[in-house]
Chains A and B, each alone.
Chain A
């Protein structure tokens, strides 16, 4: 790709989703928080709420 066309392309705005996928730390955040909330925390809350046997 020639220098000229590269600079034309890079001046184009990078779409939002691509910017997220290009950022390892946002991805790391999502990849840790999602399972921590939906799987671990929700699961622990359910177990804590199991009632005592009558």
Chain B
């Protein structure tokens, strides 16, 4: 029973390794380094990286910017609540806000175009989960995150809230419609 007793030797640091341990440590170390360098590698050669671009903001300031975009680019409304569907020009700054319990406004983007998508929360933490494409980020009140995103599939995507935000959490949905380009 020696793992629960003091080591047999007073000086154990100089004991030679068994070959099985030495070999495994070597293999595991190489694998650890591969996994480590994979992340910077993907920043250079991969296409899916979050930028660290973010700003400190307030719900009022952010609401004002979102409202301005909605006023300018709304193309239609949906549901009995008259939710605006906004079609901002490609390459522009797009503002999306999360609040109890909706993602506002609905967006219509063009496939293959790049947008600067800003997201912030008006109240509590929310989770931006775009399905079925499966992109997930954390939305924090007081902070505005900027994703430079290029939709490369057309059709309807749903924004689901995947951070717990109270009793209506499961009703907090939004939409991003992606239309074929060159329309």
Verify whether A and B have any Cβ pair under 8 Å.
yes
Q: A residues touching B (Cβ–Cβ < 8 Å)?
A: 1, 6, 9-10, 12, 14-15, 17-18, 50-54
Q: B residues touching A (Cβ–Cβ < 8 Å)?
A: 8-14, 54-57, 61-62, 143-144
Cβ of A14 and Cβ of B11 under 8 Å apart?
A: yes
Nearest Cβ on chain B to A39's Cβ, whole angstroms:
17
- B10 contact from A6, A51, A53, Cβ within 8 A: A6
- A53 contact from B9, B11, B13, B57, Cβ within 8 A: B57
State the main secondary structure of chain A at its contact with B: loop
Nearest Cβ on chain A to B6's Cβ, whole angstroms:
11
Nearest Cβ on chain A to B16's Cβ, whole angstroms:
14
- Given the interface pairs A15-B13, A17-B13, the reply to whether A53 lies near B56 with Cβ below 8 Å is yes
Q: Looking at A6, A9, A52, which has the most chain B CB atoms within 10 Å of its CB?
A: A52
Cβ of A52 and Cβ of B10 under 8 Å apart?
A: no
Q: For A50, what are the chain B residues with a Cβ–Cβ distance below 8 Å?
A: 54-56, 143
